[in-house]
Amino acid sequence: MTKLKNKKAADLYTLHSDVRVVRGGKEYFNQIQQIASIAQQTLHLQTYIFDDDETGQEVANALIAAAQRGVNVYMMVDGYASQRLSSSFIKKLKDANVNFRFFKPLLHSRYYYLGRRMHHKIIVADATLVMVGGVNISNRYNDMPGAQAWLDWAVVVKGPVATTINKLCERMWNKTSFALKCIPHKGNSLAPDTGVLVRMRRNDWVYRETFITKTYEELFDSALHYVTIMTSYFWPPHKLLRSIEAAAKRGVKIKLVLTGAADVPLAKYAERYLYSRLFRSGIEVYEYLPNVLHGKMGICDGEWVTVGSYNLNNISAFASIELNLDVKDKILVTELTRTVNGIIASDCNYITKSRYEADKNLLMKLLYYLSYRAIHMMFFLFTFYFTQQKQRNY
């Protein structure tokens, strides 16, 4: 992808015939194995969290197998979220010819890490087949014996968008690695196919890329009938929150599906601070009960869906590098809507205004308020950027 001369180019969809939405857990990790197994020339994996547990070992073995076939394999993980990877695990990868890098900002040491997070969850093979989602590589995102995976989603696409994302991965690798440059994929790009419309959406506020935020604004501003949002860590930017409220007030039915079993209690308390405001606009709130809900998805009018790494909060909007795919296809989105509605019916608790108010005593009100303020204070204190820079070619 060349540097955009006009940001409207980022709004363009391309046609694809092979597009699927997959759920996290075994389905997702089986798909990683399959994508890695078919790679012949290049394989890129970028993720926020990579743990060297059983799931991480399985994925690493798939990358190693590809490298041993002569595939150029590039693995990039976030330097903050994956900092606990052992040196022996990284050595194992490098000894097997897997190219490995941490994504790190300029200001970091063993004692502090100030800057953007690479929040991508991507695997792309031969610039033709890609999977983009919200699933990290760790046991808790997988179906393990006696433990159900966290609820999550990803999109698998074969077609032109895979070529675009492959070029993005190449540029990010070359930007991070000064010693070893990425060998570019050689071969013809896939011609646009017929069928499903897909576009890549990216957020990196420092470089003036706010396309996923704009996707959600567009989703609420254009909705006619309904919007279903499934997201974790919900404390959206004020402008986006106003778009949600405006859609509800003009009659759009909005369902907000959040986690009930939070992995970060402070974040859950901060979410609940917003419930009263959501109820005033007639927004339906559901909490997923079986496990942690980690998925990030927005569905609009049975027409289109956005899926990826972007949470509806200030961290994703302003401090992380995010990637989503927007998909327009009535058949796919109708089936996905049916699946999500089934999850709401069977696995979620409907939070009514009366029930919420009955459970919220003065102490809980104070806890929710302080948590919401603490989240915002932590965001400003621990995320560092000087200013938005001009858009760069990566």
Of 209, 218, 32, residue with least CA distance to 136? 32
Note the pLDDT of residue 43.
98
Q: How many CB atoms lie within 10 A of CB 316?
A: 26
Cα-Cα-Cα-Cα dihedral sign, residues 20, 290, 317, 124: negative
pLDDT tens, N- to C-terminus, the chain (394 residues): 334 344 566 778 888 878 999 999 999 999 999 999 999 999 999 999 999 999 999 999 999 999 999 999 999 999 889 989 999 999 999 999 999 999 976 555 555 445 678 999 999 999 999 999 999 999 999 999 999 999 999 999 999 999 999 999 999 999 876 667 788 887 755 555 668 999 999 999 888 899 999 999 999 999 999 999 999 999 998 999 999 999 999 999 999 999 998 888 888 999 999 999 999 999 999 999 999 999 999 999 999 999 999 999 988 988 899 999 999 999 999 999 999 999 999 999 999 988 888 777 888 888 888 998 888 777 666 554 444 444 333 3
Burial of 366 from C-beta contacts in 10 A (0-12 / 13-18 / 19+)? exposed
Note the pLDDT of residue 194.
64
Contact (Cβ atoms closer than 8 angstroms) between residue 365 and residue 285:
no
Of 122, 119, 126, 190, residue with least CA distance to 156? 122
Q: From start to end of the chain, where are the E strands?
A: 14-16, 18-23, 42-47, 72-78, 98-103, 107-108, 113-114, 117-118, 121-125, 129-133, 153-158, 196-204, 209-210, 226-230, 253-259, 284-288, 297-300, 304-308, 320-328, 348-351
Distance CA 280, CA 278 (A): 5
Note the pLDDT of residue 13.
87
CATH topology of domain 203-382: Endonuclease; Chain A (3.30.870)
pTM of the predicted model as reported, rounded to 2 decimal places:
0.90
Helix, strand, or coil (residue 292)? coil
Note the pLDDT of residue 206.
80
241 Cβ contact list (under 8 Å, min separation 6): 274, 277
Q: Would you list the domain boundaries of the chain?
A: 12-194, 203-382
DSSP run (H or E) holding 5: none
Amino acid identity, residue 168? L
The CATH number of domain 12-194 is 3.40.50.300: no
